[in-house]
Structure 1
């Protein structure tokens, strides 16, 4: 098969994997080497200053021994198959980098013969880039489910980030749609990666020249909408993964219907706004101090698609408002619709030497019409009509459904005022 045909097939097959970002990794090129990775995100995305960053995102092969119902590369699929050699991927990465097409490599794969054999080939790609070509750009490797700990330990020496996809939110979902995989096996890989990351941190304290191990941490991905699992199920699993394995990110990928699929799978993809709401909820859990039970209580297991999750929480908890910006603690300020993390920090800093007024909020570029029903300042108290249950939450104006930037660093991303 011609190389260009392989690229067409295996680049297209990789588009379903969203779990790729390099935030948090830093790597300098060795003397005489090529490529450099700093803290910017690397994927097909845009930085806040408008700069486009990209990576070569491909599969080693789309041959696969598994028959996961939701996967277009499953063994029973009638798609066209292809496989790169190690040399082809290495040469492609270097050629594309020299032409300034990409800033790194995201490499995943189907399992052609065995987990270990596939993982070995992916590691060899990364090893040749790092050692033979002294490549200092970003490398993200997918941790193949069921591969040995020895190979995971080796992979992290060359990759800036590793990811083991949890696939679906509940063990029952995975059993029904991918019976050859289990959450236990996937989470074992996560545990091994995290254990090695912790060990490496201690090694670096003792030996400055100790090699880095997956400096960008690890991530995972869940498919949304392939099963009847609720948003509460999805976010409960995500919260557990963050807590147990200190993941950098959980990515949520809307299910895409595939040809000749399992009759139990939906015929249409879920609305993209659902994926967006899950990312917003993810931010609330990680950076705003919310718990799953608050955002998605048992009697409200699905996210509202017509309003963001913080506003939905505020409407269900009207008694919390209005909040006095001059006295409320940080964890309460973070729950006010319209205030992001940065503005909360600015409010806390400002009120140490003066009373907060509406003009101060305007200088911080806070959307005043959005925030007025929920706050008290030195010169403003909302009228009772705005706290009435018929009006509360209706002062937001039309919401623009813009997908969160999945690949920005934390400081860039938390400026979203929801």
Structure 2
């Protein structure tokens, strides 16, 4: 077997090749791209035996995505994505001085995959469809988070010089495109007070708002109320800031809506979509996020417990001497944890069994978030069973042992 440590950077890779005894066979700096992959294959061919199978080449690298990683997987190599924190802890056995070099990192990664391979997780063999869902689902969620950050900046600026706008556009939702268009049209208190009901109604009609006349009257009245003002130059400066953020939010709304359509299209085209959608609390967007983070490799999770551990819904136990505590698992995939929290919350109204399970936890004086996390943990186990047996969710089967309270 050959063991390769790959310390990657944006434009190059430092690699070291070892044999089964840990003897260093080669070290090189390879460029990113086709040329680099070709030179890596040459190193493997040079130092491997004539009949070396590709599966006997084991690569350790601190990432699980990108064209380089996909090329390694396509070559048939075993590829292990090492968490950077794990790699840093492993390198401490060589010394505590804190010295660092790219060649040294490649050496440590090769040693790590040779010595502790059984403790590492190989990169899952997800299908192309699952990888596509992951790409668009993560991008969609990132845009939503960016929209929230932009809105918070806009809201902070409005509170400084134009708090009446926060009240006037509250019914429209301040992140909505029509509210942003009205802000762009009249970004100062003086300009907003001059907006006519016809102008406001026209914007609401363009975005198909109901009860437009009543809403326009309410907005106009709120914008014309008396309130404290700032000097004109300061107001103009804040207005320019708000206009820039409002235009950015309009663009983010448009791109988020377009990307949401891509998320749904890619998710619904996946063979597992029907199973995910049968689960309580899961819609197309939430289902896409859960599928994206779990992947679709049927061999990745050996058991429901393994899937729960990866999801971060299962607790961890800390025991030392006479002390023992059970705590929430906070080192986890946060994107997946957020999606499962959303599913668990929605399942309270969609599934009577989920509601009973949640109420049972609350009756034991478990707080809201821990009870919701335990419900999410249970739902992950149910999802694992459905995916394993290729069966749709069934309410009676899923909660059969929770349907009636046990005797004391």
TM category (shorter chain) comes to: under 0.3
Normalised by the length of structure 2, the TM-score is: 0.26
Higher helix proportion? 2
